Structure 1
Amino acid sequence: MNKIIPPENLPELLERAYLMAGVNLAHIAAQRGLSVPKDLKRDKGWVGQLIEMELGAIAGSKPEQDFLHLGVELKTIPIDSLGHPLETTYVCVAPLHNIQGLTWQNSLVCHKLQRVLWVPIEGERCIPVGERRIGTPILWEPTPHELQLLQQDWEEIMELIALGKVDKVTARHGEVLQLRPKAANSKALTQSIAADGSLKMTNPRGFYLKKNFTASILNRVFG
């Protein structure tokens, strides 16, 4: 399988993304010599990895933007027949300890969401995985208002983490950004701050963008 060279500049990245629009996942997978999973229950990240590979993303699971040299994060987003997001969008792992001096400006959430290439993909379960088509990509930079909403949610959630209240944070917290368990199963544990300032064990958490927020991004472009 030939490894695709990362795009040298933003126009090249966008050209690659636009060339995929209208193509189904089986066609991309065949070009890369990959088999298409029957469903995504056990292969939840398969679609994202396929698109990363096709566009030449280099970050993998590293805590940085997918195209660091271009300042661009890549996010695939499953949509229904009306173009509405079908699920929340994972941003990154949330830090649960050693957070002294961490600010919104130097957070991974802020870094990753500076500029995002959204790639919508048909996601309804009635469509076989291989037959799902890739939509028109969107290069998005948050408006000052969107940044304000993101920062506000992030700061409120991080304050609860700092106070040892991570277990009290639910998916309902936050207007556009939420904190949710992020692990293959509930047995995975990591350190977090306890109410008395010591460390305790809890499930890893991740930051996710709520569907209403990503829907507003898609609506702004596609109406």
Structure 2
Amino acid sequence: MCSLSPLASPPKTQAQLLAQAQQLAGYSLGELATLAGLPIPRDLKRDKGWIGVLLEIWLGASAGSKPEQDFAALGVELKTIPVDSRGRPLETTFVCVAPLTGNSGVSWETSHVRHKLKRVLWVPVEGERAIPLAERRVGTPLLWTPNDEEDRQLRMDWEELMDLIVLGQVERITARHGEVLQLRPKAANSRALTEAIGAHGEPILTLPRGFYLKKNFTAALLARHFLLAGN
């Protein structure tokens, strides 16, 4: 363990980033947190982004809370993904906040969703609640670019959801819309409202929404790359 140390500055190449992520595979979150001097919360209820912060420290991410990719110079987004003992995702994956106004002329090619997903470093992490947070281990990383079929699936869902937003139907969108991409409320509390377009084109206030990848999409992605059994 002594040879392992967090990156002090952002990696200069995608190969360097992947190599550093590969070095973390097999370590527990507790080991990595202790080496990085990061306090370990008891659970993730109030520290939902803690695992991401920990891995950003180890991988030298630079974006922080900025809307750009985590490794902007490399064009790579970091996504941790909690998995079960068979390597299947335990929850949906947040992509980005959805724009609810000012969407005239937007296209999939220039969308924030596509920008965030064009190159992703996936880092699976044990996520079953029976395993104490500090004992959960980091899995083998994957540097991923959507193939033509994945891009088509994402585009179709994005276009359908954006059409509903532009047409003033945001309040009618549920998590069941979309085959692989969903839109659902993302807010710390019900008082955090944002502007959107109503059914008659009028301005309304509603909860902020976020784009999320459904588990079926990330499960297939992981299964294809890691040849997991049973998928």
TM-score range (shorter-chain normalised) is: over 0.9
| Structure 1 length-normalised TM | 0.97
2:57 aligned residue: 53
| Secondary structure of residue in 1 paired with 2:125 | strand
Alpha-carbon distance in 2 for matches of 1:47, 1:198: 40
Q: Which runs of 5+ in 1 are unaligned?
A: none
1:63 aligned residue: 67
Q: Which amino acid aligns with 1:83?
A: G
* Count of aligned positions: 222
C-alpha spacing 1:82/1:15, structure 2 compared with 1 (3 Å)? same
The answer on 1:193 being equivalent to 2:220 is: no
| Secondary structure of residue in 2 paired with 1:48 | helix
Determine which of 85, 88, 91 is the counterpart of 1:81.
Answer: 85
The answer on 1:220 being equivalent to 2:230 is: no
1:170 aligned residue: 174
Q: Which amino acid aligns with 1:32?
A: A
The answer on 1:94 being equivalent to 2:98 is: yes
| Secondary structure of residue in 1 paired with 2:109 | coil
Residues 179-223 of structure 1 deviation map (CA, whole Å, 9 limit, x = unaligned): 010111121100001111121100000000000000001101111
Alpha-carbon distance in 2 for matches of 1:174, 1:210: 9
Contact conserved, 1:86 with 1:211, CA < 8 A, in 2? yes
| Secondary structure of residue in 2 paired with 1:68 | coil
Residues 32-78 of structure 1 deviation map (CA, whole Å, 9 limit, x = unaligned): 11111111111111111111121011111211111111111110000
| Structure 2 length-normalised TM | 0.94
| Secondary structure of residue in 2 paired with 1:118 | strand
Q: Which runs of 5+ in 2 are unaligned?
A: 1-5
C-alpha spacing 1:3/1:137, structure 2 compared with 1 (3 Å)? closer
Give the superposed CA RMSD: 1.0
What is the percentage of aligned positions where both structures have the same residue?
62
Contact conserved, 1:64 with 1:108, CA < 8 A, in 2? no
Contact conserved, 2:10 with 2:61, CA < 8 A, in 1? yes
The answer on 1:161 being equivalent to 2:169 is: no
Q: Which amino acid aligns with 2:148?
A: P
Determine which of 29, 34, 58 is the counterpart of 1:30.
Answer: 34
2:209 aligned residue: 205
Contact conserved, 2:103 with 2:166, CA < 8 A, in 1? yes
Contact conserved, 1:182 with 1:204, CA < 8 A, in 2? yes
| Secondary structure of residue in 2 paired with 1:70 | coil
Q: CA deviation at 1:3?
A: 7.4
2:3 aligned residue: none
The answer on 1:126 being equivalent to 2:133 is: no
The answer on 1:14 being equivalent to 2:36 is: no
Alpha-carbon distance in 2 for matches of 1:176, 1:26: 33
Alpha-carbon distance in 1 for matches of 2:29, 2:8: 17
| Secondary structure of residue in 1 paired with 2:205 | strand
Alpha-carbon distance in 2 for matches of 1:64, 1:49: 16
